[in-house]
C-alpha cells in the first residue's frame, strides 16, 4: 500500500469488515476482552435508530430473509447479549420437522419431544437478529463502528500487521483483519484467498406466504423433482397463519414462477406443497437468487481471516449457512481471547491456524453433506429413488440414529466453541 502522508491513520487490534450478523457477533463476542475492535460497514447511517426501524418495519410485514437458528446459535447470541433483545421482537420456535420425498413414499419426522428439548430451533427474521446485535453494540463503547465505507486496499503482512485503506481515504493499521462481508467479499478478494466454487444449478425463490391452516410449529420440507421446497413457520398475527418459503428449483422453472401473478404463484406453490396447510391465500413480494457452492481453500493468512459467507456458502436446503457463520465467529473470538491472554500476536499464523483447524473441517463436512443430499434427491433413476425412499423410512424408525443426527444439526453435540456450549451446561 503506497504511503499517503495526508491520510489519517488509525490503529486497532482487530478490524472486522462487514456489520452483518456474523461480523457483529464477532465484535460483540470480543467486546469484554482487552482487544480494540473496529467494525466497518458499507451502509450509511447511525445504528442507534435501528431497533426502532425494526419495530416500524414489523408493522408492515415480515422480512423475507429469515434464518433457522439452531440451539447452538441461540446460545451464542445469548452469550453475547443479543437474544434477550431479539425476544422483544418476533421469534418463531419450531418443535417439529417434517421431510418427505415428493417423488415417492420416503418420510422423516423429527420432534423436540423425543429429545426432551423445548424446540428444535427458531425461525428468525434476519433484521430481528441484527436489531438485537446492534442493541448490544450500542451498549459496547469498546467497539468502534465506522459506517459508509468500503475497503479499497489491503496491505501485505508486515511487522506492524495489516493496513486497510478505506474509501474515505483513512487507513487503519491492525494486528488482524477479518473478512465478514459476505459471499462476494471484496476483502477476501483483496487478500487473494483462492476459492473452490460451482453452480448448484438451482435458483431459490424466497417470500412470505399466508396459509389457510396453522403451521403447527413445524418446519416443512418437500423434495420435488426440481429441488427442495421449505415452508418455515412464522409467528401468527391476529388469527392469520404465516410461513416463510425457500423454493429451490431449476433456473428455468424459477423464471416461470417469478413471471406469474401472485394468485397463480400461490396456486402453483400449494400444488407443489401438496396442500399440506390448505390453500396458499397470499404471498408477499418474491425475490430470487442463484445458488452457488463456495469454499475458500484456506481461511487464513498472516494477519487475515475470513468467516461466514466470506469463507463458505452452501445450499440452503438444511438452513445451516448462518449457523456455520455464527460458529466461525464464536470460535475465532475464543481463539483470539486465548491468544490475548497468552500475549501472542493476534494475527500470527500459529494463532489463526488454531481457528482454522477447529472450523474448516466441520464446514467442509457440512458442505459435502449438502452436496450429497442435493445429488441424492436430484436423481430420477428408479433404483436410486427406491433406495432413497427406503432409506428415509428406515432412518425414521431408527430413533437413536435419527436423534443423534438431529442433535448434531441443532448444535447439541460434537465439538463446539465455548460460547455455544453454555446452554448445555446450564
pLDDT interval class at 5 (50, 70, 90): low
Least-confidence region, from 113-127, 156-170, 312-326, 363-377:
363-377
- Which structural domain range is residue 88 located in? 9-96+124-197+293-375+417-425
Asked, for residue 217, whether it belongs to a domain, the answer is: no
- When the pLDDT of each residue in the chain is averaged and rounded to a whole number, the result is 88
Contact 422, 337 (CB under 8 A): no
Least-confidence region, from 134-138, 265-269, 286-290, 387-391:
387-391
Least-confidence region, from 43-47, 71-75, 78-82, 124-128:
43-47
For a pLDDT cut of 70, what percent of the chain falls above it? 90
Q: How far apart are CA 52 and CA 89, in angstroms?
A: 11
Residue-wise pLDDT tens digits, 370-387: 666 666 666 666 776 777
Which residue has 412464522 as its cell numbers? 234
Asked, for residue 43, whether it belongs to a domain, the answer is: yes
Query: Burial level of 397, CB count in 10 A (0-12/13-18/19+)?
Result: exposed
Tally the C-alpha atoms within 13 A of residue 181's C-alpha that lie toward its C-beta: 23
Contact 223, 102 (CB under 8 A): yes
Please state the domain count of the chain: 1
Task: Give the pLDDT score at 426.
Answer: 44
Contact 108, 99 (CB under 8 A): yes
Q: Which CATH number does the domain housing residue 146 bear? A: 3.50.50.60
Query: Sign (positive/negative) of CA torsion 341, 342, 343, 348?
Result: negative
Asked, for residue 341, whether it belongs to a domain, the answer is: yes
Task: Give the pLDDT score at 178.
Answer: 98
Query: Sign (positive/negative) of CA torsion 192, 18, 22, 292?
Result: negative
Query: Which contiguous run of DSSP H or E holds residue 122?
Result: strand 121-125
For residue 45, give the C-alpha cell.
Answer: 447511517
**In sequence order, what are the residues at sequence separation of 6 or more whose Cβ sits closer than 8 angstroms to the Cβ of residue 377?**
101, 223, 227, 228, 388
DSSP string, 26-82: HHHHTTTSS--EEEEESS-S-GGGHHHHHHHHHHH---S-EEEE-HHHHHHHHHTT-
Residue-wise pLDDT tens digits, 333-347: 999 999 999 999 999
> Residue 316: how many CB atoms within 10 A of its CB?
22
pTM for the full model? 0.92
Residue-wise pLDDT tens digits, 68-119: 999 999 999 999 999 999 998 889 999 999 999 877 788 889 999 998 899 9
Asked, for residue 261, whether it belongs to a domain, the answer is: no
Task: Give the pLDDT score at 375.
Answer: 64
Task: Give the pLDDT score at 106.
Answer: 85
pLDDT interval class at 146 (50, 70, 90): very high
pLDDT interval class at 424 (50, 70, 90): very low
pLDDT: is 200 or 34 the higher one? 34
Asked, for residue 281, whether it belongs to a domain, the answer is: no
Asked, for residue 103, whether it belongs to a domain, the answer is: no
Asked if residue 35 has pLDDT above 90, the reply is yes
Task: Please give the average per-residue pLDDT across 246-274, as a whole number.
Answer: 96
Contact 82, 132 (CB under 8 A): yes
Q: Collapsing DSSP states into helix, strand and coil, what is residue 167?
A: coil
pLDDT interval class at 363 (50, 70, 90): confident
* Largest separation between any pair of C-alpha atoms in the chain: 70
Asked if residue 265 has pLDDT above 80, the reply is yes
Asked, for residue 401, whether it belongs to a domain, the answer is: no
Asked, for residue 90, whether it belongs to a domain, the answer is: yes
Q: How far apart are CA 189 and CA 197, in angstroms?
A: 14
What end-to-end distance do the CA atoms of the chain give, in Å? Answer: 49
Task: Give the pLDDT score at 50.
Answer: 61
Q: What is the 3-state secondary structure (H, E, C) of 393-409?
A: HHHHHCHHHHHHHHHHH
DSSP string, 347-396: T-HHHHHHHHHHHHHHHHHHHHHHHHHHHHHH---HHHHHHHHHHHHHHH
Asked if residue 54 has pLDDT above 50, the reply is yes
pLDDT: is 158 or 261 the higher one? 261
Task: Give the pLDDT score at 20.
Answer: 93
Asked if residue 58 has pLDDT above 80, the reply is no
For residue 300, give the C-alpha cell.
Answer: 487464513
Amino acid at each position: 500500500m503506497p504511503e499517503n502522508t495526508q491520510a489519517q491513520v488509525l490503529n486497532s487490534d482487530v478490524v472486522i469488515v462487514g456489520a452483518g450478523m456474523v461480523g457483529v457477533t464477532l465484535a460483540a463476542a470480543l467486546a469484554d476482552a482487552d482487544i480494540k475492535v473496529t467494525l466497518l460497514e458499507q451502509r450509511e447511517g447511525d445504528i442507534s435508530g435501528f431497533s426502532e426501524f425494526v419495530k416500524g418495519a414489523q408493522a408492515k410485514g415480515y422480512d423475507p430473509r429469515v434464518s433457522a437458528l439452531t440451539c447452538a446459535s441461540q446460545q451464542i447470541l445469548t452469550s453475547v447479549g443479543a437474544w434477550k433483545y431479539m425476544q422483544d421482537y418476533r421469534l418463531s420456535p419450531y418443535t417439529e420437522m417434517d421431510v418427505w420425498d415428493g417423488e415417492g413414499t420416503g418420510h422423516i419426522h423429527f420432534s423436540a419431544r423425543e429429545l426432551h428439548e423445548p424446540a428444535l430451533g427458531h425461525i428468525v427474521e434476519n433484521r430481528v437478529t441484527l436489531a438485537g446485535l446492534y442493541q448490544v453494540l450500542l451498549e459496547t463503547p469498546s467497539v468502534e463502528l465506522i459506517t459508509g465505507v468500503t475497503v479499497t486496499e489491503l496491505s501485505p503482512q508486515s511487522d506492524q500487521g495489516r493496513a486497510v485503506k478505506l474509501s474515505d481515504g483513512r487507513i487503519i493499521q491492525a494486528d488482524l483483519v477479518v473478512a465478514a462481508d459476505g459471499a462476494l467479499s471484496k476483502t477476501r478478494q483483496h487478500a487473494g484467498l483462492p476459492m473452490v466454487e460451482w453452480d448448484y444449478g438451482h435458483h431459490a425463490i424466497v417470500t412470505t406466504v399466508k396459509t389457510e391452516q396453522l403451521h403447527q410449529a413445524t418446519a416443512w420440507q418437500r423434495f420435488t423433482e426440481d429441488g427442495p421446497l421449505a415452508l418455515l413457520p412464522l409467528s401468527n398475527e391476529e388469527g392469520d397463519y404465516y410461513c416463510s418459503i425457500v423454493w429451490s428449483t431449476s433456473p428455468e422453472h424459477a423464471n416461470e414462477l417469478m413471471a406469474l401473478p401472485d394468485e397463480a404463484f400461490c396456486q402453483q406453490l400449494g400444488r407443489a406443497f401438496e396442500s399440506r396447510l390448505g390453500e396458499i391465500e397470499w404471498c408477499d413480494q418474491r425475490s430470487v437468487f442463484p445458488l452457488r457452492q463456495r469454499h475458500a481453500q484456506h481461511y487464513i493468512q498472516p494477519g487475515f481471516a475470513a468467516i461466514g459467507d466470506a469463507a463458505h456458502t452452501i445450499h440452503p436446503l438444511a438452513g445451516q449457512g448462518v449457523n456455520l457463520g455464527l460458529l466461525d465467529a464464536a470460535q475465532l473470538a475464543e481463539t483470539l481471547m486465548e491468544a490475548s491472554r497468552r500475549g501472542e500476536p493476534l494475527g500470527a499464523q500459529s494463532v489463526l491456524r488454531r481457528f482454522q483447524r477447529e472450523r474448516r473441517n466441520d464446514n467442509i463436512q457440512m458442505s459435502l453433506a449438502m452436496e450429497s443430499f442435493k445429488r441424492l434427491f436430484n436423481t430420477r433413476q428408479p433404483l436410486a429413488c427406491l433406495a432413497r425412499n427406503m432409506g428415509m423410512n428406515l432412518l425414521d424408525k431408527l430413533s437413536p440414529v435419527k436423534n443423534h443426527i438431529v442433535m448434531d444439526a441443532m448444535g447439541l453435540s460434537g465439538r463446539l466453541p465455548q460460547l455455544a456450549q453454555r446452554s448445555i451446561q446450564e
